Amino acid sequence: MNMRHTVFALALLSAGVFVAAPAAASGNAQLGKAKSAACVACHGEDGLGTAPNFPVLAGQYADYLELALKQYRSGERNNALMAPMAAGLSDDDIADLAAYYAAMRGLTTPKR
């Protein structure tokens, strides 16, 4: 293998490792728990939702939850319930809430 192939192989390997690594939550889950009081009415104490029309937050990826909340806050995602809930959240609030819900155990498939 010549030098060009070696460099290319190393670049692919390092890119693959970088892409495969999960994003770490940037927030503080303990602070998120304290900030989640308003979320509980719809998403439940356990993050599994209080009714079928409320999404499960428990176990979701933190970066997905952060993105969704920022989109509700900006109006990019249009939802009459979530827009006012997210409107007053700071980036730190959003990161903390995302870390809290990401740390919870989500839905599991029942064993037979």
What sign does the dihedral 63-65-71-77 (CA atoms) show?
positive
Does residue 110 lie in a domain region? no
Does residue 8 lie in a domain region? no
In tens, the pLDDT along 72-112 reads 999 999 999 999 999 999 999 999 999 999 999 998 777 77
pTM: 0.75
Does residue 59 lie in a domain region? yes
State how many domains the chain has. 1
Q: Which residues of 58-90 are buried (b: 16+ CB within 10 A; e: fewer)?
A: bebebbebbebbbbbbeeeeeeeebeebbeebe
Q: Which residue type occupies 90?
A: S
In tens, the pLDDT along 3-41 reads 554 444 444 444 444 344 444 558 999 999 999 999 999
Domain containing 59 equals 26-103
